[in-house]
Amino acid sequence: MLLLILAAVLVQTAAAYALTARRDVGASFLATRPGPAEGRLGTAGALAWRLQRGTLLGWSLGFLLGGLVFGGMVEGTADIVGDNERAREIFERMGGQSALTDAFLATMVSLFGMLAALYAVGSVLRPHGEETSGRAEPLLASALGRLRWAAGHLVIAFGGAALILLLAGLGLALSYGHDLGPVLGAALVQLPAVWTLAGLAVLLWGAAPKAATAAWGAAGLCLALGWVGPALGLPQAVLDLSPSATCRSSRAARTWPGLRSSR
């Protein structure tokens, strides 16, 4: 058996060396199929969509499924919290001012808003990665202007953030079973904060490209302030440093005034 294995290894090694001499460096034995005579992506926006569509689809599915899961937990919020006053206080500080159910819903849409900011920052910085990797150079060396090239990515970044928040709100409302309009509105209330962080990423990318990745730090800090800050009992003045602070509590709670009456 060992002799058969050794013979097979020798034969395969000899065949590999023989085949290597019959092809170009880095090329395959099968000829590369030629592409179409004309490119299928005629605009900068189409190229941006091609590059980012997979990421947007993944985030969209994740937010929709997340909304469905958390929406199904709304009715059991009281059982989850129980008599833990500290837990009630955390929920209310993170997103609600009235009933515990309202606080839970406000907390969830606030969390989705903070996560959507991560998507937006990553999408804004995608063209920065194209630049640093050299893949954007052939495009920018042509008649395509830098602003038009960047605009395609920014439309997907800002529009995609609105889409995934809408899907999160839709999942919450469908699974919860009440007040589709108010819950969708509460989810979209988070959009200004998300766009603020996305705008910061655009500013850093344009003004200081080497520091563009600092936008991840800003998004992470806001996530920490919004999610971990209330649990640590940080002062409200510190929590208000996050752009999402203005989109929580009062504005989110006012978006669904019918929830208490529906229950």
Residues 116, 119, 197: CA angle, nearest 5 degrees: 70
- Per-residue confidence (pLDDT) for residue 214, from 0 to 100: 93
Cβ contact 96:107 at 8 Å: yes
Which residue would you say has higher pLDDT here, 26 or 162?
Answer: 162
Report how far residue 206's alpha carbon sits from residue 200's, in angstroms, rounded to the nearest whole number.
10
Q: Using one digit for the tens of pLDDT, what is the confidence trace for 31-66? A: 667 666 565 667 888 889 999 999 999 999 999 999
Model confidence, pTM? 0.73
- What per-residue confidence (pLDDT) applies to 34? 65
pLDDT score at 75: 73
Is the pLDDT at 237 greater than 50? The verdict is yes
Contact residues for 246 (Cβ-Cβ < 8 A; gap 6+): 192, 193, 240
The full set of domain ranges for the chain reads 58-257
User: Mean of the per-residue pLDDT values for the chain?
Assistant: 80
Q: Dihedral (C-alpha) 208, 209, 214, 219: value to the nearest 10 degrees? A: 100
